[in-house]
Amino acid sequence: MTTISDTPRLSTLSPTARGTVFGLAAVVMWALYLSFARAGVNTGLLPQDFVVLRYATAGAIMGVWLLWHDARTLAGVGWGRGAALALFAGPLFIALGVGGYVFAPLSHGAVIQPSVITLASLLLAWMLFRETLNISRLFGAAVIVAGLVLIASASGGSVGPQAWIGDLLFISAGLLWVGFTLLIRHWGIGAFAATAAVSVISALVVLPAYTVFGSFERLLALDIEKLLVQIVVQGVFSGVLAVIAYGKAVEHLGAGRAALFPALVPAATLLIGLPVTGELPSLFEWIGALMATVGLAIAMGTFNGRAPT
């Protein structure tokens, strides 16, 4: 299968260090995606608008890459496996994740979806691939859960009565991403090839459907600056670079350890989302996000001076 090697500078680092760099890069781009998704929903965009923004852009970028890496077989992934990856990390994943913001606030989406990814991937990687589940990971996961509970309960009556619907959508989106994580780990698919397969197949499905059944009016009604920002954040950062970075983290760290990084997304999203959406998190939401971050550090063995094996 065709792969692209890491940059020379990264290649001098240990696999754990390289995986950490890629994981942190994915965290920042996910935080941008969640923040601007919430901001877009506030301006009247619908989940299907984000789907087309993401895959029209990502499909074009990765389609060009595929022309140089055996497009006939999707860079060795194969159309059957590519379709399976797109089922988990494609349009349905985006529609559920963004759709949750129609009912729930930024803090819920920032915490619930990443935490589900972290905890479910950690457990399933242990069950299916026998990746180590030691005391540090278990305790770190417990701290993450505590942070999740704190944030979910912090808003209390300040959220709408249908927030639970958004929470269920966030959980569903998180579980889909878990399936994507386990599949690329099980099949040993490279980050670039996996991203290309998901992006191109999703674009082939989404663009015709949106053209026939959807409307470009909401997107065209945006200021050109806001539209360009959404294209870059949704299509380039989230649709291409974040998926590649996460895939690289899985390659270097394994599914269980790579899945710990989404636990950093809550703190990053609340920080980035403040100027983007204007939603000021409560003190307890900040504490919960900090707990999720500390839980990641514990699970990665930071306080032991070593990464867990």
pLDDT in tens, 31-43: 888 788 878 888 8
Amino acid 152: pLDDT: 65
Cα first-last separation, the chain: 27
Kindly indicate the confidence band of residue 200, based on its pLDDT and cuts at 50, 70 and 90: very high
- DSSP string covering 200-258, please? HHHHHHHHHHHHHH--SHHHHTS-HHHHHHHIIIIIIIIIIIHHHHHHHHHHHH-HHHH
**What is the reported pLDDT for 306?**
47
Share the mean pLDDT of the chain: 81
Cα–Cα distance for residue pair 234/49, rounded to 1 Å: 10
Query: Would you state the structure tokens that stand for residue 126, as one six-digit string?
Result: 């242990």
- Which residues contact residue 17 at a Cβ distance below 8 angstroms, ignoring those fewer than 6 apart? none
Closest to 52 (Cα-Cα) out of 213, 173, 206, 227: 206
Cα distance between residue 280 and residue 253, in whole Å: 34
Give me the residue spans of the domains in the chain.
14-304
Model confidence at 143: pLDDT above 60: yes
* Token pair in block for residue 61: 């970028």
Residue 245 CB partners (closer than 8 Å, separation 6+): 22, 23, 25, 26, 29, 191
32 φ/ψ angles, rounded to the nearest 5 degrees: -65, -45
Q: What is the pLDDT of residue 80?
A: 95
pLDDT of amino acid 1 = 43
State whether residue 105 is helix, strand or coil: coil
Mean pLDDT of 70-75: 91
pLDDT (mean) for 36-60: 87
Give the CA dihedral 70, 75, 77, 83, nearest 10 degrees.
-80
Q: How far apart are CA 81 and CA 192, in angstroms?
A: 14
Q: Find tokens 């966030």 and name the residue.
A: 170
Mean pLDDT of the 105-122 span: 76
Whole-angstrom CA distances from 58 to 222, 231, 260 are 20, 10, 25
For 214-227, write each residue's pLDDT tens digit: 788 888 888 898 89
Residue 247 tokens read as 């895939």
Those residues whose C-beta lies under 8 Å from the C-beta of residue 283, and which sit 6 or more positions away, are none
What integer pLDDT is reported at residue 216 of this predicted model?
86
Reported as a pLDDT band with limits 50, 70 and 90, residue 10 is: low
Measured distance CA(33)–CA(173) in Å, rounded: 14
280 has a pLDDT exceeding 80: no
Query: What b-and-e string marks burial along 245-256, b requiring 16 or more CB atoms within 10 Å of the CB?
Result: bbbbbbbbbbbb
For a pLDDT cut of 70, what percent of the chain falls above it? 84
226-272 pLDDT, tens digit per residue, is: 899 999 999 999 889 998 998 888 888 887 778 778 777 777 877 77
User: Of 62, 73, 54, 89, whose CA–CA distance to 173 is shortest?
Assistant: 89
For the ranges 29-33, 57-61, 90-94, 265-269, which has the lowest average pLDDT? 265-269
Interatomic CA distance for residues 55 and 231, integer angstroms: 10
Q: Which positions ≥6 away from 12 have C-beta within 8 Å?
A: none
Q: Which of 178, 174, 87 is nearest to 125 (CA)?
A: 178
pLDDT score recorded for residue 113: 81
| Weakest-pLDDT range from 189-193, 216-220, 290-294 | 290-294
The mean per-residue pLDDT over the stretch 292-302 comes to 70
Residues with Cβ < 8 Å from 187, sequence gap 6 or more?
81
